Structure 1
Amino acid sequence: MSQSERIVSAERRVAARPETIFELIADPAQQPRWDGNDNLAEAAPGQRVTAVGDVFVMTNVGDRVRENRVVEFEEGRRIAWNPAPVGEPAPGHLWRWELEPAAEGTLVRHTYDWSGLTDERRFERARSFTPDALRASVDRLAELAEGAERA
């Protein structure tokens, strides 16, 4: 499998401001609301990401707790993190969100990059995060952000 096959993404234009969308992404307590993979169960409030190096804790479905180290951050525009089991090194995959102001809203791009993953036991799960699965998260995020701006 080539490295490029290990990077999947989905994007769409969302009829909401980047700030509205970003707030839903950068606050881990909001993430289970828009997770199209139905993988995220809950995150404690008060973990709003503000910088590279921040770590937020998320409980996944099945009570798997993950520490997520933020490796890219630009307020309102870009955020990316490496998940890892608590107290363990990151196995080599990354979740990224990029927001670009556009005519009538924001272009939202969601990427899952598992090109650094070396543990073959994790490959099957990594392959399950397809462009369609990522698009489901973007669509749910869009619905929440557009609804917030209409309210």
Structure 2
Amino acid sequence: MDDEVKVVSAERVIAASPEAVFELIADPEQQPRWDGNDNLAAAEPGQRVRGVGDVFTMRLTMGEDRENHVVEFEEGRRIAWLPAPAGAETPGHLWRWELAPLADGRTLVRHTYDWRGLTDPDRVSTARATTESSLHASIDRLAALAEQG
């Protein structure tokens, strides 16, 4: 029986509105600015995610392109995508962001990496290396951007 943990989450309160935080997440052009894994190099402008079924493309620091297939979306509250090499099927790992407004104008942000559906054995070591601390690195960078307004 496989008892390996394949869902990792981190959360933090950010002193900014859910709308401000969400805009930084849902606009792929902004993602390299807060990526705590330092593997996102760039994204073309104009790819702002609007709903489930959208696909946005990122250039990785390794030089390859990644297509991200949006599978969950609620404006200002939740977004999740399954990445895949350009033109390929998704190998089954999911990145999710959930935002909850707090009464004082701040936002509780939860970032989750879920690789329970991962089908590519070559990606398992990378999946295992994605820890709560690497997720926190992204949230902390996101907070710094959102809080500076």
Q: Do they superpose with TM above 0.5? A: yes
- 2:136 matched to which residue of 1? 135
Give the gaps of 5 or more residues in structure 2: none
- 1:66 matched to which residue of 2? 66
In the TM superposition, residue 58 of structure 1 has moved relative to its aligned partner by 0.3
- 1:98 matched to which residue of 2? 98
In the TM superposition, residue 21 of structure 1 has moved relative to its aligned partner by 0.1
Q: What amino acid sits opposite 1:34 in the alignment?
A: W
Q: What amino acid sits opposite 2:7 in the alignment?
A: I
Looking at structure 2, the residues matched to 139 and 103 of structure 1 have their Cα atoms a distance apart, in angstroms, of: 21
Within a 5 Å distance, the mapping from 1:13-92 to structure 2 comes to 13-92=13-92
Secondary structure in 1 aligned to 2:59?
Answer: strand
Give the gaps of 5 or more residues in structure 1: none
In the TM superposition, residue 47 of structure 1 has moved relative to its aligned partner by 0.1
Report how many aligned residue pairs link the two structures.
147
Looking at structure 1, the residues matched to 87 and 145 of structure 2 have their Cα atoms a distance apart, in angstroms, of: 33
Q: What amino acid sits opposite 2:15 in the alignment?
A: A
Deviations 1:20-55 (A, max 9, x none): 000000000000000011010000000000010000
RMSD (Å) for aligned C-alpha atoms: 0.9
- 2:148 matched to which residue of 1? 147
Within a 5 Å distance, the mapping from 1:93-132 to structure 2 comes to 93-104=93-104, 105-132=106-133
Looking at structure 1, the residues matched to 7 and 64 of structure 2 have their Cα atoms a distance apart, in angstroms, of: 24
Percent identity of the aligned residues?
66
TM-score, normalized by length of structure 1?
0.95
